[in-house]
A = this chain, B = another copy of it.
């Protein structure tokens, strides 16, 4: 099968590596607004060739759009305008606004909104890696609004990446990802800002940074171009969980001020419960 990937960055590039390696794709065409990215992608053999959008779609059976979610709002309808019988998926981190934007498109049934829950803090074609998706979860949203054979094809593709497939409506997806993914990023961005503000001596950060610190601020290396549109499209859910997070931190603050260390002990033991859930 011939697959077009629009946006050859961390996610698009990593999908390209795995689908070529496992034989799901015989040929991969890259489309990207940056010719530099496309050249890199060809040199890294992430894609077989690059093409303009129209020709790429004409030659393909499946089109995967992996670009920031604000650009997605423009590109997805344009792609759907151009397809005949091809299946189109996106792999963005927010779903409700996008699904709403194409709900009346005549080719809606050939499109499937998906979200493979995998990534790293790096971006660009140089960040693409093998096995990024193995044993991770992907979400397929509002599957009942797409043609059955299209959903089957996409399931098959994600199975070939060794991903678990979950089904969810777009609104639930956006709520859960705010809780589990988006707030982690804001927490990490804010922690980096905090440490940069308090610790003016950069050498001390570097000297003392333990693996715990590195792990907690890792996501603060993530791309603003990717994340700002996510926060924009998922603003209400993100605000809701951010309020709760500030509230949790304020509990620690109040107890520290009151020197109520027994209660802090209780809070930490409550938070340890995440261990039971993540290890189960």
Contact = CB atoms under 8 A, between A and B. Distances in A.
Interface stretch (A43-51, A82-90, A217-225): A217-225
Contacts of A271: 188-190, 192-193, 196, 220
Contacts of A207: 137, 164, 166
A246 B244 contact: no
B184 A187 contact: no
Interface residues on A, range: 35 or more
B272 A220 contact: yes
A145 interface: no
Contacts of A166: 207-208
Interface stretch (A57-65, A100-108, A230-238): A230-238
A242 B195 CA distance: 10
B224 A265 contact: yes
Contacts of A273: 192, 196
Given A195-B180, A270-B196, A256 B228 contact: no
B208 A195 contact: no
Given A271-B192, A274-B196, A228 B180 contact: no
Interface string A128-164: 0000000011010000000000000000000000001
Contact of A248 (B197, B219, B248, B280): B197
Contact of A268 (B224, B253, B268): B224
Copies in the complex: 2
Nearest to A185: B212
Contacts of A239: 253, 256-257
B274 A192 contact: yes
A212 to B, nearest CB: 5
A230 B189 CA distance: 25
Given A272-B221, A274-B220, A245 B194 contact: yes
A270 B215 contact: no
Interface stretch (A5-13, A27-35, A198-206): A198-206
11 contacts: A118-B210, A180-B208, A192-B274, A198-B244, A206-B280, A220-B274, A224-B265, A228-B261, A228-B265, A239-B257, A246-B250
Interface of A: 117-121, 136-137, 139, 164, 166, 176-177, 179-181, 183-199, 202, 204-222, 224, 227-228, 231-232, 235, 238-253, 256-257, 259, 261, 264-265, 267-275, 277-278, 280
